[in-house]
A and B are shown apart, each in its own frame.
Chain A
Amino acid sequence: MIFITQTALELGFMYALVSMALFLSYRVLDIADLTTDGSFVLGMAVSVSLAAAGHPFLAVPAAMLAGAAAGFVTAFLQTKMGVPSILAGIVTNTGLYTVNLMAMGWSSNVNLLKQETIFSLFKKTGIGGGWYEFVLAAAVVAAAGLFLVWFLGTRLGLSVRATGDNRDMVRASSVNPVFTITVGLCISNALTALSGAVVGQLQKSADIGGGTGIVVVGLACLIIGETVIGRGSVKRGVLAVVVGSVIYRFIYAVVLKTKIVPIECLKLVTAVIVAFAIAAPTLRTYAALRKRIWAASRKKGGR
């Protein structure tokens, strides 16, 4: 049980960065950014490759920079080239497959054998004892969360939020939506890549298929978190993604351990949960309408 909890907390915190990125792109900017899968692997590939070359610390900012570059491409396509936003993400994502292979030296996976990682170096400091992996992951997430809360409170951050909230108003208040969308997507993809970078170094490997479906998992965490913590301020949103991500990983770990649901089915279950959660308002409206129609027809019949 302790093992499950520990794993859930570690992975939950590390993958929370993806949900944090989606909070920024999907909730704040109101853009479904499908670059996510690719930039997660990009972060992983850059991070593990650099760690393999003996630069585990440099690997993290480098991975974030690479992620930001991927976000920039998606933003450029949709703001300057008129590519619909979902398609822009898919196009970048497809292109990233090749870029990711290149980052891993034209191989579909890279493994760290005896090279140092940020985790192995952190272990030597003795902080956190047996929980050192969790402590480091939590510190990274806390730093990213604080940064996001701080950033969205600055004038630039307010402009980014307004871009997703009311685009008409943004243009009328001297904010350039092209710029704010670009900034937003660069930051969100940097966060996704950071998640990949940390996960890659923890697992000591990067794999070209490591990001498949991560955008849906990230959304699931976001929705779970918002259901538990609620929606509203930025602070609440950032807290929600961490809580949601930990809950998701906890369920994942329990399923893995007990095999209540065959582990192969987990992606399908996740997809169904996300689809239902996003469809909930529509389903609710439809149910209410049906109920009214039914009540009306009964009234007529009784007359």
Chain B
Amino acid sequence: MLRIENISKTFNAGTVNEKRAVSGLSLHLEPGDFVTIVGSNGAGKSTLFHAVAGGFYVDEGSITLDGKDITFVPEYKRSRVIGRLFQDPLRGTAPHMTIEENLALAYLRTSKGKAPFSRISKKDKAFFREKLVLLDMGLEERMSQPVGLLSGGQRQALTLLMSTIVPPKVLLLDEHTAALDPGAAEKILALTKEIVAAEHITCMMVTHNMNQALSVGNRTLMMAEGRIVLDISGKEREGMSVDGLLAQFKERAGRALDNDRILLSR
């Protein structure tokens, strides 16, 4: 499915601020994998996502998706098959455009996107409405309102819908519930699990919630200093506790987990 082979990325190379964000990282995902990722601040989680999504090209190594080498495919082309949600719910939607227009934009990834002068049809509207109903937020009644009027949780739900309305091959969730209030966060996580399961999307999720890291998905990764230091799944994962996970981290990374938000969220 997704094969990341030995990738490295250094920022500000040759300056005092040189930072090797990801170093010699390899990761293979099976179709339908739902991987959760935890790690310290600056462990390279977001850099890994950026590398996969194409925000920059890696310095070394290669990335293959479904047998196709995408190492040097530009970001906007990768986004046809890679969906992405950020922590900031404002990043995923266009505030001055209506809900309907935002969805139409996301729908560009389909074959319809190749007809640049086509307009939003009645059929499209009915389809969008049907999808919005699944979010259970009443957004289907507000389709012609600008997205800027929605709450953070509603915007993140809409972004989730937009990135999965055409099921992507890989969905990258970068702490996509961290900036929401607890109720909304829970709702978005439930929706995420529902949609990912229904569409069999291969998924990676960064989280700072250790319980979530073990309970959601089928595989857990821990990152430190640009590497994967722990990769557990199956029986080993089932038997793992949060304390066990922290102990493992200390052992493998050589120091305690210093992500303050992780510690606070325990």
Does B202 lie at the interface of the complex (its beta carbon under 8 Å from any beta carbon of A)? no
Does B20 lie at the interface of the complex (its beta carbon under 8 Å from any beta carbon of A)? no
In the bound complex, residues from chain B placing their C-beta under 8 Å from that of A155 are 104-105, 108, 112-113, 115-119
A169 to B76: give the CA distance in the assembly, Å.
10
Minimum CB–CB distance from A288 to chain B (whole Å) comes to 22
Tell me the nearest residue of chain B to A166, going by C-beta: B94
Across the interface, A172 reaches (CB within 8 A) one of B84, B96, B118, B119, namely B84
Across the interface, B95 reaches (CB within 8 A) one of A153, A156, A159, A165, namely A165
The answer on a CB contact under 8 Å between A175 and B84 is no
In the bound complex, residues from chain A placing their C-beta under 8 Å from that of B117 are 154-156
The answer on a CB contact under 8 Å between A166 and B95 is yes
Does B197 lie at the interface of the complex (its beta carbon under 8 Å from any beta carbon of A)? no
Minimum CB–CB distance from A82 to chain B (whole Å) comes to 16
Tell me the nearest residue of chain A to B77, going by C-beta: A174
Does A168 lie at the interface of the complex (its beta carbon under 8 Å from any beta carbon of B)? yes
The answer on a CB contact under 8 Å between A176 and B76 is yes
Categorize the interface residue count of chain B: 35 or more
In the bound complex, residues from chain A placing their C-beta under 8 Å from that of B102 are 162
Does B79 lie at the interface of the complex (its beta carbon under 8 Å from any beta carbon of A)? yes
Across the interface, B119 reaches (CB within 8 A) one of A153, A165, A173, namely A153
The answer on a CB contact under 8 Å between B109 and A174 is yes
Does B28 lie at the interface of the complex (its beta carbon under 8 Å from any beta carbon of A)? no
Decide: A165 near B94, CB < 8 A? Known: A155-B113, A156-B116, A174-B113.
Answer: yes
A100 to B212: give the CA distance in the assembly, Å.
65
The answer on a CB contact under 8 Å between B76 and A175 is yes
The answer on a CB contact under 8 Å between A165 and B97 is yes
Minimum CB–CB distance from B164 to chain A (whole Å) comes to 12
Across the interface, A159 reaches (CB within 8 A) one of B75, B83, B108, namely B108
A contact patch SS: helix
Q: Size of chain A's interface in residues, with CB distance under 8 A?
A: 20
In the bound complex, residues from chain B placing their C-beta under 8 Å from that of A156 are 116-117
The answer on a CB contact under 8 Å between A165 and B116 is no
In the bound complex, residues from chain A placing their C-beta under 8 Å from that of B105 are 155, 158-159, 162, 173, 175
Does A249 lie at the interface of the complex (its beta carbon under 8 Å from any beta carbon of B)? no
The answer on a CB contact under 8 Å between A169 and B91 is yes
The answer on a CB contact under 8 Å between A166 and B76 is no
Does A171 lie at the interface of the complex (its beta carbon under 8 Å from any beta carbon of B)? yes
Decide: A166 near B113, CB < 8 A? Known: A155-B119, A173-B79, A173-B108.
Answer: no
Tell me the nearest residue of chain A to B101, going by C-beta: A158
Does A204 lie at the interface of the complex (its beta carbon under 8 Å from any beta carbon of B)? no
In the bound complex, residues from chain B placing their C-beta under 8 Å from that of A174 are 76-77, 79-80, 108-109, 113
In the bound complex, residues from chain B placing their C-beta under 8 Å from that of A175 are 76, 105, 108
Does A61 lie at the interface of the complex (its beta carbon under 8 Å from any beta carbon of B)? no
Minimum CB–CB distance from B48 to chain A (whole Å) comes to 16
Tell me the nearest residue of chain B to A165, going by C-beta: B94
Does B154 lie at the interface of the complex (its beta carbon under 8 Å from any beta carbon of A)? no
Q: Which of B137-176 contact A (CB under 8 A)?
A: 162-163
A159 to B120: give the CA distance in the assembly, Å.
13
A155 to B114: give the CA distance in the assembly, Å.
9
In the bound complex, residues from chain B placing their C-beta under 8 Å from that of A159 are 105, 108
In the bound complex, residues from chain B placing their C-beta under 8 Å from that of A168 are 86, 91-92
The answer on a CB contact under 8 Å between B116 and A169 is no
In the bound complex, residues from chain B placing their C-beta under 8 Å from that of A161 are 94, 96-97, 101
Decide: A166 near B104, CB < 8 A? Known: A172-B53, A174-B109.
Answer: no
A165 to B90: give the CA distance in the assembly, Å.
11
Q: Which of B103-138 contact A (CB under 8 A)?
A: 104-106, 108-109, 112-113, 115-120
Does A177 lie at the interface of the complex (its beta carbon under 8 Å from any beta carbon of B)? yes
Does B71 lie at the interface of the complex (its beta carbon under 8 Å from any beta carbon of A)? no
Decide: A154 near B118, CB < 8 A? Known: A161-B97, A174-B108.
Answer: yes
Bitwise, A164-190 to B at CB < 8 A (1) or not (0) is: 011011111111110000000000000
Does B36 lie at the interface of the complex (its beta carbon under 8 Å from any beta carbon of A)? no
Minimum CB–CB distance from B99 to chain A (whole Å) comes to 13
Does B8 lie at the interface of the complex (its beta carbon under 8 Å from any beta carbon of A)? no
The answer on a CB contact under 8 Å between B106 and A173 is yes
Across the interface, A154 reaches (CB within 8 A) one of B80, B90, B116, namely B116
Does B177 lie at the interface of the complex (its beta carbon under 8 Å from any beta carbon of A)? no
A159 to B91: give the CA distance in the assembly, Å.
15
Across the interface, A171 reaches (CB within 8 A) one of B75, B93, B104, B115, namely B75
A168 to B86: give the CA distance in the assembly, Å.
10
Tell me the nearest residue of chain A to B120, going by C-beta: A153
Minimum CB–CB distance from B170 to chain A (whole Å) comes to 13
The residues of A with any CB-CB pair to B shorter than 8 Å are 153-156, 158-159, 161-162, 165-166, 168-177
The residues of B with any CB-CB pair to A shorter than 8 Å are 53, 74-77, 79-80, 83-84, 86, 90-97, 101-102, 104-106, 108-109, 112-113, 115-120, 162-163
**14 A–B pairs (Cβ distance < 8 Å), ordered by A:** A153-B119, A154-B117, A154-B119, A155-B116, A155-B119, A165-B96, A169-B91, A170-B76, A171-B75, A172-B79, A172-B92, A174-B76, A176-B76, A177-B76
- Given A155-B119, A169-B94, A174-B113, 6 further pairs, Cβ under 8 A: A165-B95, A170-B76, A171-B75, A174-B80, A175-B76, A176-B74
What 8 pairs across the A-B complex have the smallest Cβ distances?
A: A156-B116, A165-B94, A174-B80, A174-B79, A162-B94, A176-B76, A166-B94, A154-B117
